[in-house]
Structure 1
Amino acid sequence: MLTFCPSCGLLLEIEEGRTNMQLSCPTCPYVAPITQKVGSKIYPKMKELGDILSDTQAWENAQSTEERCPKCSHERAYFMQLQTRSADEPMTIFYRCANHQCKHRWKE
């Protein structure tokens, strides 16, 4: 939580005193004691992998390759590579069948 000086409006800084910690203004003599521990965490909402891969715009610019569809045996498929695990793991390759009636998706 940010605390501002009521006199000049600047952000108060933490100052370590001899026996306790306090908030002090860097430009005027205002000092406020720290009476309680305050903290907060904000976690960003991550997109689900299904949201990314089901989006038709994501597949519009995908490259195609000679990969056989396991469902309809079509000879071509679109592919995308995404980093789904930690950076030291290889990227995951996602495929979508190029047959417009099938559009089966799988990964390697």
Structure 2
Amino acid sequence: MLFCPYCSNNLTIGDSENSSENAWVCPTCPYKWNITNQISMRTHLKRKEVDDVMGGKEAWVNVDKTSATCPKCDHRMAYFRQLQIRSADEPMTTFYKCEECAHQWREN
């Protein structure tokens, strides 16, 4: 994406007045910049780690305990917390962490 140096709007591709070449054209001001060569750039973004998204170890500090059976060790107590990971009209997702083996799972 390119932006207009005068009004900062997004430039679009349009026809140049002087030739049959294309130009970057600002939709709100008279700025035009003729395209003389191909412009291409790729930026590969680094994916976030799951702990970065879910809050890491700090997210489990000061959470409440409830009776929930761990699917790994069958212990009956687990810590839990709730996050809104979908849109606002969807219910919150409950995440559990076993008190005994620290296995983590979410409510289905």
TM-score, structure 2 length as denominator? Answer: 0.51
Q: CA deviation at 1:37?
A: 2.9
Question: Which residue matches 2:15?
Answer: 16
Question: Which residue matches 2:39?
Answer: 38
Q: CA deviation at 1:57?
A: 0.8
1:80 has 2:81 as partner: yes
Q: CA deviation at 1:53?
A: 5.3
Say if 1:52 and 1:58, in contact at 8 Å, map to a contact too.
no
Cα 1:34–1:70 change in 2 (3 A) is: closer
Which structure is larger by alpha-carbon Rg, 1 or 2?
1
Say if 1:64 and 1:78, in contact at 8 Å, map to a contact too.
yes
Question: Which residue matches 2:48?
Answer: 47
SS in 1 for 2:96: strand
Q: CA deviation at 1:93?
A: 3.3
- Give the aligned residue type for 2:43: I
SS in 1 for 2:47: coil
Over the aligned positions, Cα root-mean-square deviation in angstroms equals 4.2
Cα 1:80–1:2 change in 2 (3 A) is: same
Question: Which residue matches 2:105?
Answer: 106
Say if 1:71 and 1:104, in contact at 8 Å, map to a contact too.
yes
In structure 2, the gaps of 5 or more residues are none
Q: Percent identity?
A: 37
In structure 1, the gaps of 5 or more residues are none
